[in-house]
Structure 1
C-alpha cells in the first residue's frame, strides 16, 4: 500500500527529515510516534506531495509518487485528515462532504453522505450548519468524514484526537476501530499509546527526522523504557 524508504525533506535551508522509513500493508493500521517537532507532520506532508522530497522514495499503490502533485496522489487513493482539521469554514457540513465525494478506486460499497451520517450521527443533525460554527470535536468528525468521502485506499490521520474532549475522543477512537474492522488501511499520528497499542498493527518512532524504532504493540511493552525516552509521554 505505502512504502517510505530513507525519506529526506526540508523547509528551505532547514532540513527536517533525514532518513524516515515506514511501511503500511493492505488493511493495516500503522502509527507514527514521536515528540513534537520530530518530523511526523513533515513526513505526512512529504508523502502527500505537499512538500518536495530531497531524497529517498515514496511508493504508493505500487508507484513511486515523490515529485507528483498532491492532487494526483489524492486521486490515487490517499485521504488526509490534516492536523488542525482545516474544514471549509464557509461551507455547510453537507457541502464539505459533497465537495470531496469521489469513488476513483471503484469500490463496491463506496462512502456516501448517508454512510458518513450513520458513522457520525451528529453530522447528520447539523448537515445544514456552517462548518465554522461547529465545535472542535464536530469539526474533527467532519474532517474524517470528508476524507472518507474520497473513498481512500489509505486514510492518514494527523493528530486524530488532539485537543478533543474525552467523550469526543472516545467516539473518534470507536470510529477508527470500526474502519479497521472494515479493512481500511490507516496511518495514525497520535499520543494515546494505550489506545494505539491495542489498535495498531505496527508502530514507528521518529526522532529528529529519522526512524529510530519500529515494532508491534507487544514490542512497545517489552521496550517500554526506550520507547518512553523517544516519545516522552
Structure 2
C-alpha cells in the first residue's frame, strides 16, 4: 500500500535520510524504530509531503505521491497522528473530530468500500472522548489529547494511519489503552505505520519492524526475527 524506495531528504544543507526504503502492506502493521534523531519523524514528514524529498520515490496504493501537497496525500487515504498531538485547543472534542472529517471512499454502487468512521464509531472505540465531547482540546489530559488525535485521523476514513510517537509521555494505563486501540484498528483491517519507543509493545501488534540508524535502514524483519535477536535493542534502540 505504502512504498518508499531509496528516499533521501533533509533540512537545508543537512541530509537526514540516506536511501530509506520500506513498505506497508494492506492491513499490515509496521513499526518504525530507532533512537532519537535517527530519521523516523523525518521519514513521516517526507511521506506526508511536509518535507520535500531530494531523491527516491514514494507511492501509495500504486500511485506516486512524492511531490504532492500534504492535503492531496491526506485525501489519497493516509491519516496522520502527529508527534505532539496538535489538537485544536479552542475547539471542543466533537469539533476537533468533525473539523477535518471526510466520507469513506465508495465503490461503483455508491456504498462505502469499508466500514465508515463516524462520530458514533469513534466514541465506541474511544469512550473517553464521548464522555468529554463538550470539553475543549486544551482541557484534556495528554492521554486524552492523543486519543483525540487518533480519532481525528480516523475521521478522515484513511486506508493507512501513521502514528508518530504513539505513546510518548503518557502514563502506563493510558499507554495500555492506546495499544488496545491500535490492536482493534489492526483487527479491523487498517494498515498502520507506528513509531514508538516501547519495543515490547510494538512487538505485540506489529507484523514487521524497520530500524533506522543515522538515516539509513539498519535492520528490517518480521516480529519473529525481531524477538529472536535480543541484541537488536542494545545495538540500535537503547541509549
**Under a length normalisation based on structure 1, what TM-score does the superposition of the two structures give?**
0.97
Partner of 1:88: 88
- Structure 1: distance between partners of 2:227 and 2:95: 44
Decide whether the 8 Å contact of 1:77 with 1:104 is kept in 2: no
Moved more, 78-87 or 189-198: 189-198
Counterpart of 2:79 in structure 1 is 79
Contact 1:75–1:104 under 8 Å retained in 2: no
Mapped to 2, the partners of 1:226 and 1:193 lie a distance apart of: 10
The answer to whether the 8 A contact 1:220-1:227 is kept is no
Residues 155-203 of structure 1: per-residue CA shift (max 9 Å, x gap): 0001111100111100000000011111010000011111111211110
Q: Which moved more, 1:148-157 or 1:188-197?
A: 188-197
Task: State how far apart, in whole Å, the 2-side matches of 1:51 and 1:148 are.
Answer: 23
Distance 2:51 2:16 in 1: 11
Q: CA deviation at 1:227?
A: 4.1
Match of 1:174 in 2: 180
- Structure 2 runs not aligned, ≥5 long: 107-111
- Structure 1 unaligned residues grouped into runs of 5+: none
> For 2:3, what is the secondary structure of its paired residue?
strand
Q: How many residues align?
A: 233
Match of 1:164 in 2: 170
Deviations 1:57-92 (A, max 9, x none): 101111111100000000000000000000011110
- TM-score, normalised to structure 2, is 0.95
Q: Distance in 2 between matches of 1:228 and 1:70?
A: 36
Mapping of 1:3-152 within 5 angstroms?
Answer: 3-106=3-106, 107=112, 108-152=114-158
CA distance in 1, matches of 2:228, 2:8: 30
Give 2:219's match in structure 1, choosing from 198, 209, 213. Answer: 213
Partners of 1:175 and 1:47 in 2: how far apart? 23
Distance in 2, matches of 1:219 and 1:173, equals: 21
**Residue 38 of structure 2: SS of its match in structure 1?**
coil
Residue 229 of structure 1 is matched in structure 2 by 235
Does the 8 Å contact 1:76/1:104 carry over to 2?
no
Indicate the RMSD between aligned Cα atoms, in angstroms: 1.0
**Distance between the aligned counterparts of 2:27 and 2:227, measured in 1?**
23
Partner SS, residue 46 of structure 2:
helix
Offset at 1:223?
Answer: 2.3
Q: Following TM superposition, where does structure 1 have runs of at least 4 consecutive aligned residues deviating by more than 3 angstroms?
A: none
